[in-house]
Structure 1
Amino acid sequence: MNNPVLILLESAMMFCMIDLCIDARMAFCSGIGVYIRQLVPFFNAAPFRLRLLVDRFDQPWCCGIEQILFRAPIYSVKEQLQYPLKVPKCDLFWSPHYNVPLLPIRAKKRIATIHDACHLALGTFEKKMYAKWVMRRALARSDRAITVSQFSKVEIEKFVGCGDLKVIHVGINRNTFSRKPSSEEIRKKYRLPERFVLFIGNFKPHKNIERLIRAFSKVNVSGLELVVVGKGTALGQVLDEELPVLYSMAEMFVFPSLYEGFGLPPLEAMSCGCPTVVSNAASIPEVCGDASVYFNPENVDEMADAIRRVAVDEKLRAKLIQRGLERVEVFKWEKTAMEHRKVFEEVCFA
């Protein structure tokens, strides 16, 4: 039998609005930026009254939402000094990254997302000490903390030694990332070969591109070339709208990373019907499940064998494409947003 008191309380909660402020200044910072831009629109509805901290006005992705200009550089002393002035009086302040206000602010409750422990696992001694200090304070000053994978939860708890972390996987936008027709315009623009293996990333050591280049030199499949796209590469960064076309044109996508808190690119590739060959390190198996061919990212010969196997086996490629399309159905931004909303409401109504 339903408890009438609980029913009344639940009904009352439905009519309780939550003043929510989100630090959205990193909306175009790689994976964190995707996370912010995809989730924020879901919070611009009851029970939330939404305001954003932004580093510039007139951004199309958040038009129609109340905004507060905050131009202090990220990770700066000036930023920390201005946080108490910029964060308005509100019920809840959400930091979608571990760079949180260290001084008191006017929010009643606070939540932070810590995406990974990369700086703690791979940084220099100085960077590790600084990251540990900041993360501990982020956790201490937050009423709840979120992370994006079970792997990250274990890593953060291992390095920081504290924190009640809620794991919420991020999503993939199937409207953006879907199979696209081949484009001769893009092929000419980037001088793409007829058959190519695609890597998207940068030259940070944990992206492991040097081993990938060495491995690919051992693949020896006629007509197959390696295309490397991203900041600091020969082709540079591509436009967002070109990414799904590149994934769709590629023979396969390879992801040799040594460390990822989540790792969206394999899911983007899967969503575009591109077979994926990925590292078996960090969070990547948690994300890719049975929809990828795996290799040890520190073993060049094993990496080369995995790429070669997918390149020469049409049935395997077809199986990976089908499993990839099934796998991405697990990761929907609607589900991610719903789980965040639940955490926000639990914290505010606690």
Structure 2
Amino acid sequence: MARPSWPRAAASFNCSTACRIGAVRRWPTGWRRAFASAVIQPRLVRALRRERPAAVIMHGDIAQIIGAPAAWLAGIRQRVVVNHLAMGIFYKSLRPVHTVMGVLGLYRRIVFVGESARREADGLPRRFLDRCSVIPNTVDRVAGDGIAARARFGIPADATVLLNVGNLSAQKNQQILITAMADIPDAILAIAGDGPLAAELAYAAHGVGDRVRLIGRVPIDEIADVYAMADVFVFPSRYEGRPLALLEAATAGLPILASPIPENVEVVGTAAYYIDGDDVEGWTDAMQRAVKDREFREQLAEQTSRLDVGSNDTTIASYLRLMS
């Protein structure tokens, strides 16, 4: 295995990176997790001792639970865990483990990417809460080439495009968008992303014809083009942290239809049109209106264009202050 390249200032990793360092192909299921942890952790300790980063920043349940003790054993003082969702939402049985690690100080700094995710920690011990901070996710405004993106994905220049960006999963709830498209003949739904429901959603999309395009995972340096090709952003997620896709849509000035979960409302406030994530008829009506009513789209776009979603420079400065 090639030796990982680490920045001297900080080492930042998620579960996948921790697995690569430990020479484990992917995070296993069931009882094999204990074996994988036993393999990964000592190798991670050796890597951290060798590279001596000033800080270790850990993203996600598994990376935090494996990485924080490893960083402590390696003598790394600044151990920062970042919660992109409510703590323990994927592995609820691990919530007590997170709590103990925070109380004992294995987590020296605990960051939540939004106020909604942070509120899920209310009621935990004071020694845990004293380590908590909120540093919102942000994105920078980047101009994209929508004409080039439409040509790349075979979308007609005069088509009205509804766009969703995200992991193809139950969390993102793209199935409701595909179902709604059965009654929207004069638009195209483009879904950018990959994930565990890719085959299932492709099968569902086949029944709607070429009005639903699963365009796959888009490289980060091309994602601005995808937003630029869209007329409306649709986001029916069931839960989030502080969704980057919604931030990107807002910075692109797109009209937004979204589910009214607290995390979405925290990002775009009154600038979006909200529909319950399980309301198929509501999503069908809202998407039809967005396609047919230009004035409705323009009103929503004007509201999103006035949003202040911060910048990456602000986020970086906040992390530097936290670790100073």
1:332 aligns with 2:304: no
| 1:274 aligned partner | 254
Correspondences of 1:47-66 after superposition (within 5 Å): none
Measure, in 2, the Cα distance between the counterparts of 1:132 and 1:208: 25
Query: Structure 1 residues 96, 210: closer, same or farther in 2, change over 3 A?
Result: closer
Kept in 1: contact 2:81–2:111 (CA 8 A): yes
1:93 maps onto 2:56 in alignment: yes
- Identical aligned residues as a percent: 22
Q: Is the partner of 1:290 in helix, strand or coil?
A: helix
Please say if residues 247 and 309 of structure 2, whose CA atoms lie closer than 8 Å, have aligned partners that are also in contact. no
**C-alpha contact (below 8 Å) 1:113/1:147 kept by paired residues:** yes
Identify which of 182, 204, 223 aligns with 1:217.
182
Deviation of the 1:133 alpha carbon: 4.7
Counterpart selection for 1:290 from 270, 276, 281:
270
1:196-215 residue CA offsets vs partner (Å, 9 max, x unmatched): 21112233111111122222
Query: How far has the Cα of 1:321 moved from its partner?
Result: 1.9
CA distance in 1, matches of 2:54, 2:247: 35
Counterparts of 1:1-350 in structure 2, within 5 Å, are: 21-26=9-14, 70=21, 72-73=23-24, 76-77=36-37, 78-88=39-49, 89=52, 92-98=55-61, 99=63, 100-103=67-70, 104-117=73-86, 120-121=88-89, 123=90, 127-129=91-93, 131-139=94-102, 140=104, 141-157=106-122, 162-163=128-129, 164-174=131-141, 177-183=142-148, 186-193=149-156, 194-218=159-183, 220=184, 223-231=186-194, 232=198, 234-327=214-307, 329-345=308-324
* Separation in structure 1 between the aligned mates of residue 170 and residue 124 of structure 2, nearest angstrom: 20
What TM-score do you get using the length of structure 1 for normalisation?
Answer: 0.69
CA distance in 1, matches of 2:84, 2:123: 14
Query: Using the alignment, how far apart are the partners of 2:224 and 2:299 within structure 1?
Result: 20
Distance 1:292 1:146 in 2: 27
Q: How many residues align?
A: 277
What is the CA–CA distance in structure 1 between the aligned matches of 2:152 and 2:313, rounded to whole Å? 35
CA–CA distance in structure 2, aligned partners of residues 160 and 304 of structure 1: 45
Q: TM-score, normalised by structure 2?
A: 0.74
User: Equivalents in 1 of 2:54, 2:146: separation in Å?
Assistant: 47
Report the Cα distance in structure 1 between the residues aligned to 2:54 and 2:151, rounded to whole angstroms: 52
Gaps of 5+ in 2: 1-6, 28-35, 203-213
Q: 1:108 to 1:270 in 2, by over 3 A?
A: closer
Give secondary structure in 2 for the equivalent of 1:323.
Answer: helix
Consecutive unaligned residues in structure 1, runs of 5 or more: 1-18, 34-52, 56-69, 346-350
Give the root-mean-square deviation of aligned CA atoms. 3.0
Q: Give the counterpart letter for 1:191 in structure 2.
A: G
Instruction: Give distance in 1, aligned partners of 2:168 and 2:86.
Output: 19
Tell me if the contact between 2:110 and 2:132 (Cα under 8 Å) persists in the aligned partners.
Answer: yes
